[in-house]
Structure 1
Amino acid sequence: MFLQYFGLTDNPFSIAPNPDYLYMSPRHKEALAHLTFGLRESGGFVMLTGEVGTGKTTVSRKLLQQLPDSTQVAMILNPTLSAIELLATVCDELNIETDPNQASLKYFTDKILRKLADNHNAGKNTVLMVDEAQHLLPEVLEQLRLLTNLETNREKLLKVVLIGQPELQQLLKRNELRQLAQRITARYHLLPLNADEVKAYVNHRLNVANGDVSVFSPATVRVMYRVTAGIPRVINLLCDRALTLAFTQQKPVVKKHIFLAAAEQILGEDVVQQRLRSRQTLIYAGIFCTAMVGGYLWGMA
C-alpha cells in the first residue's frame, strides 16, 4: 500500500524470513561463531537461546548456509512429540526407509544409528537441528542424548543443535538431564539489539528495498529502541504499521507521534506507556544519584 508512496521496491519490514533482508548484527555474528565452533568440537550438542523475535531463526539459517555440502541436516520444527514420534521424524528427515508395522524405540534407534555410521563411512556429517526446543519433554531429550552415543575415537557421529527460548536453559538444569547438559560444547544467549544496532537494522532493511532511513525522523528512531526493546520482529511489525499510518495521513516522514500511534495499535497503549515510563524512571534515577554525589563532594570540599 505504501511502497510507491515512499519509493520502496519491496516491503522492508515484512516478517517473512526473506534472506535478502538478513541483518547480522555483532550479537548475531557472535552467536553464529559460537555455534560454528561448537559443531567443530567433538561433543554432541550446541545450544542457542533467546527471547521471542530476537533472531534465533536468522542465526540458524545462516548456520545452515555455512555447513559443508557433505553435511546431511535433519530439521525438527515441531518438538512437541513423544520419544518414538521424534525418532520417526528424524528417520523421515534423514530419508531412512522404515516399516510402519515395526514402530518401536529400538527399531527407529537402530535405523538411525545405522544411517549415522553409513554417513560417516561416506565422509558425511550429520546434524540434527531442533527449533523451539524448550517444548521438548525430558524423556525426549534423553533419547536425543542416547543417539549421540555413537562416536569414533575423535568425534560424535551426530551433532545436535538446540534452539529455544530462555526456558530451555531452565529445562537443562534438571537433575535427570545433567548428562546431556555436560555434553553441550557451545551455548549462546542472544540478546536484543542495542540502540545503535536498531538504527543500523532499520537502515539496512530500507536500503535493501531502495529506501532511505530518513523516512523515519531521528526522534522516531530513538523512541523505536525504547518501545521495541530492540527485538527485531517487533521492530518490523511497528515500522510496517507506522509506514501505513504515515501513508494514510500523506506524511512524507514518520514522525515520533505516528510511530507511537502505530505502537499502541500493535502492543497496546498500556505497554507503550509503561516502556516509556521505565526509561524516564531510569533518567530521573540517574539525575538523582548524580545530584547526591555532587552534593556529597561539595560538602566535603
Structure 2
Amino acid sequence: MYLSYFGLREKPFSISPNPHYLFLSERHKEALAHLTYGLGEDGGFVLLTGEVGTGKTTITRSMLEQLPENTQLAMIHNPALSELELLASICDELSINYDTRHASLKSLTDIIKKHLEANNKAGGHTILIIDEAQLLAPDVLEQLRLLTNIETDHKKLLQIVLVGQPELQELLKRNELRQLAQRITARYHLLPLTQGQTVAYIKHRLHVAGCDQALFSLDAMQAVHQVTGGVPRLMNLVCERALVGAFAKQQHIIDSNIIKKSASESLPADFVAVTDTPTKHTPRWLYGLAFVALFAIGVGLSYIL
C-alpha cells in the first residue's frame, strides 16, 4: 500500500523474523560473544535470557551460523513436555530410531548416549537448543542435567543452550536445580536497545528495504525509543503503523506526533516502556530536609542580625 509512495521494495518493519534484516547492536554482539565462548568450552549449559521481543531469536540464529560444519543440532521450540516426551523429541531431532511403543526413560537415554558417543568418535559435536525454556518443568530440567553426565575424560558430549524469558533465571534459583545452575558455563541477559541503537536500527531496516531517505525525523526516532523502551518487536509495530499513518496523510516525513499516535493504536493500553535511564523523582523526605536546613539558616541569621 505505502511501498511505492516511500520508495520501498518491501515492508521494512515486519514482525516476522527475517535473517535479511538482521541487526546486531553492541548488546547483541556482546551476547553472541558470551554464548559463542560458552559453546567453545567443555561445559554442559549455556543460558540466554531476555524480555519478550528483545532479540533472543536473532542471537540464536546468529549463533547457529557460526557453528562448525561437524555440529549436529537439535532444536526444541515447545518445551512444555514430560521427561519422556523430551527425550523422544531429542531423538526425533537427531534422527535416532527408537521403539515408540516400548520407549522408557532408560531406553531413550541409552540410545541417546550411544548416538552421542558415536558422533564424538566420528569427530562430531552435538548441541541441543531449547527455546522458551522458562516453560520447562523442574523434573524435565533435571533430566537434561543427567544427559550432560554423558562425557569422556575431556569433555561433555552434549551441550545445551537454554533460551528463555527472565522467569527462567528465577526457575534456576530453585534449590533442587542448584546442580544444573552450577553447570552453566556462560550466561547473558539481553536488554532492550539504547536510544542511539534504536536510531541505528530504524535506519538499518529502511536501508535493507531499499530506502536511504530520512523517512523518520530524529525526534520521531527518539519518540520510538521512548514509547517502546527499545524493544525491537514493539519498535517494528509502531514504525509499521507510522508508515501507514503517514501515507494516509500523504506526509513524506514521519514526525514524533505520528509516532505517538501510532503507539496509541498499536501498543497495549497498559504498556509502560522501561528504558535504561528511568526518570528519577526526588524523594519527599529530601524536600523536608531542605526545609529544615533553610529554617535553621533563617534562625541563625536572625541571631546575627
User: TM-score normalized by structure 1?
Assistant: 0.91
Measure how far apart 1:227 and its partner are.
0.4
Tell me the residue number matched to 1:63.
63
Cα offset, 1:212, TM superposition: 2.9
Contact 1:77 1:130 in 2 (8 A): yes
Report what 1:95 is aligned to: 95
Deviation for aligned residue 1:282 = 2.3
Tell whether 2:19 aligns with 1:5: no
SS in structure 2 opposite 1:63?
A: helix
- For residue 225 of structure 1, what is the aligned residue in structure 2? 225
Contact 1:14 1:240 in 2 (8 A): yes
Corresponding residue number in structure 2 for 1:33: 33
1:156 is displaced (CA, Å) by 0.5
Amino acid at match of 1:145: R
Change (3 A) 1:175 1:268: closer
Alpha-carbon distance between aligned partners in 2 of 1:270 and 1:177, rounded to the nearest angstrom: 35
How far the C-alpha of 1:275 sits from its partner, in A, is 5.0
Q: Which residue of 2 aligns with 1:241?
A: 241
- The answer to which structure has the higher helix fraction is 1
Equivalent AA in structure 2 for residue 261 of structure 1: K
2: CA distance between counterparts of 1:268 and 1:153?
Answer: 53
Q: 1:121-161 deviations in whole A, cap 9, x for unaligned?
A: 11000000000000000000000000010111211000000
Please state whether the residue corresponding to 1:59 is helix, strand or coil: helix
In structure 1, what is the Cα distance between the partners aligned to 2:167 and 2:213? 36
Show structure 1 runs of 5+ residues with no match: none
CA contact (8 A) 1:15 1:233 kept: yes
Larger of the two Rg values belongs to structure: 2
| Superposed CA RMSD | 2.2
1:125-140 equivalent positions in 2, closer than 5 A: 125-140=125-140
TM-score for both structures, normalised by structure 2: 0.90
Aligned pairs (5 A) from 1:1-301 = 1-212=1-212, 214-268=214-268, 271=271, 275=273, 282=279
- Counterpart CA distance in 2 for 1:280 and 1:65 is 34
SS at 2:214 equivalent = helix
| Greater than 3 Å deviation, 4+ residue runs | 268-271, 278-281, 283-286
Please state how far the C-alpha of 1:213 moved relative to its aligned partner: 5.5
Flag the 1:12–1:285 CA change in 2: closer, same or farther, 3 A.
farther
Superimposed CA distance per residue, residues 158-181 of structure 1 (whole angstroms, 9 cap, x where no aligned partner): 000000000000000001000000
Mapped to 2, the partners of 1:102 and 1:175 lie a distance apart of 33
* Equivalent residue letter for 2:178: R
Aligned residue pairs, count: 288
> Using the alignment, how far apart are the partners of 2:105 and 2:126 within structure 1?
20
Identity of aligned residues (%): 56
Shift of 1:93: 0.1
Give yes or no for contact 1:226–1:279 (8 Å, CA) kept in 2. no
Determine helix, strand or coil for the equivalent of 1:23: coil
Q: Note if contact 2:70-2:123 (Cα within 8 Å) is conserved in structure 1.
A: yes
CA change 1:146–1:200 in 2 (3 A) is same
Per the alignment, do residues 285 and 216 of structure 1 end up closer, same or farther by CA in structure 2, a change over 3 Å counting? farther
Structure 2's unaligned 5+ residue stretches are 298-305
Give per-residue Cα distances to partners, 1:178-235, cap 9 Å, x unaligned.
0000000000000000000000011111111111361011111111111010000000
